[in-house]
Structure 1
Amino acid sequence: MEARPGKLPADADQIPCTNAVGWPGDVKVFTKGVEVVLIVPPGEAAVFTPGAARQLLEAILKQVVIADTRARHPDRYWPTESQSRASPGNT
């Protein structure tokens, strides 16, 4: 599932962090097709506790597996043009 502006995919991970001066934020990790996407606080450093850094690592690895699987088996994840036209709801 791809993200729409302002909306994250259901399988996205959000890992809490702070910026350099201690303000709270989140880093988001998800896949967009066969790519892994990280959304970080704009123009700031993301500072993690050891536990949150571990969460970030696990989230990135999870999304890498998803993206790699999609890249190796595109026929399982994206319908062909003829299939998408035949799908219910596509008029």
Structure 2
Amino acid sequence: MTMRNGAASWLARTTGALPLNQPGDIAFVHISQLASAIESDPYRVGEWYRSVRIRELGEMTARELVMRGSADLVIAFLHSIQRGDRD
């Protein structure tokens, strides 16, 4: 999966339509599932993943962080939101 495909590809992958082949794919699915627990609209989750710069994580997008091998930072960030540590 390429990260360019966004929410539509994520939905296809979570239903088992396509195999996960790369570590970034697995990180993307995990991050998308966590983000979906916060925001239920898959389109908005995809837009957030690709476009929203996260101030606390160096003004990078979740996608950029995953591509750099820092998916763990994005996952920790989403967990902090779920715990209510931030908005």
Relative to its length, the structure with more helix (as a share) is 2
Larger Rg: 1
Q: Does the alignment reach a TM-score above 0.5?
A: no
Normalization by structure 2: what TM-score? 0.28
Relative to its length, the structure with more strand (as a share) is 1
